[in-house]
Every structure is written in structure tokens, then in C-alpha cells.
Amino acid sequence: MKKLFMMFTALVLSASILQGAEAKNVQVTALEDFNSANPPQVLHVQMNGNARLDYDLMLFQGFQVTGKVVPQNGAFVFVPVSYVNYQEEELPINKDFPATFKGRKGLIRQNQPFTLVFPNGTDSFQYYVPSVSDMN
């Protein structure tokens, strides 16, 4: 019985470690035409899903994000530098959160979706949820 419990514990721990190591795939929509083989220096996209970049920053579906483009091995890396929220305020992003382009090669048209892959650790935060005993 003790061996069975230890095996179960090891399985749960390994699954949680593997889950935390996964990257976050987020679908976005291009706000202008660009060629993935020769992308512009600045790219504008609209989020089609939510992406938590760190504890304090979450890009919600519908946010328009501006990012600088860094060519890399025949593809590119998208580094968000600012975003426009629902109140139409443009807010800066002060840390680097590089996301790799994942999509078909060639021309990407305006309003065409593609995927950005944010590095691991983007959704691996643990939050404190108060219990009833904490409120007394």
C-alpha cells in the first residue's frame, strides 16, 4: 500500500511539473498585412484569447497589442511593448515577454488569425484564496 501511495504521489508531482513547463499558445489576429518571412519592425495584433504574462499583467481577449519584431531562424519573435485596453488607454509593457510566431509561412493578411507562443511560466502563478477562518 505504501508503494502504491508513493507511485501515485510521484505521478501527480511529475504531471504538475510537466504542466508548468508547457508554453502558452495564444491565437491573435493581424491588424495589418505582413510577410512572416520578412516581417516589419513593429507589428499590431488583437488578442483572441487571454494571456497572463506575469502576476501583474494579463492581456485579455480584444486588447490590441503593439510589439517589436525580432527576426530569428527564418521566423520571428514578437515582444509586446504596449497594449490598448477596453477604455482605449494605451499602456506600456515594461518587461520583455518574447513570444514566438507559430503559423504558416508567407503573407499574413489583415484580420487573419495566427498563433503566438509565450514562454513557460505565464500561467503558473498560485493565488491565495482567503477562507472563512481568515476573515475573523
48 assigned to some structural domain = yes
Instruction: Tell whether 4 is covered by a domain.
Output: no
For 2, list phi and psi in degrees, rounded to 5.
-65, -40
Q: Locate 94 and state its grid cell.
A: 515594461
Full residue range of the structural domain in which residue 28 is found? 23-123
Query: Is residue 9, in this structure, part of any structural domain at all?
Result: no
Task: Quote the percentage of the chain above a pLDDT of 70.
Answer: 71
Domain presence at residue 49 = yes
State the chain's mean pLDDT as an integer. 80
pLDDT at 89 over 60: yes
Count how many Cα atoms sit within 13 Å of the Cα of residue 82 in the half-sphere of its side chain: 7
> What domain count does the chain have?
1
7 lies in some domain: no
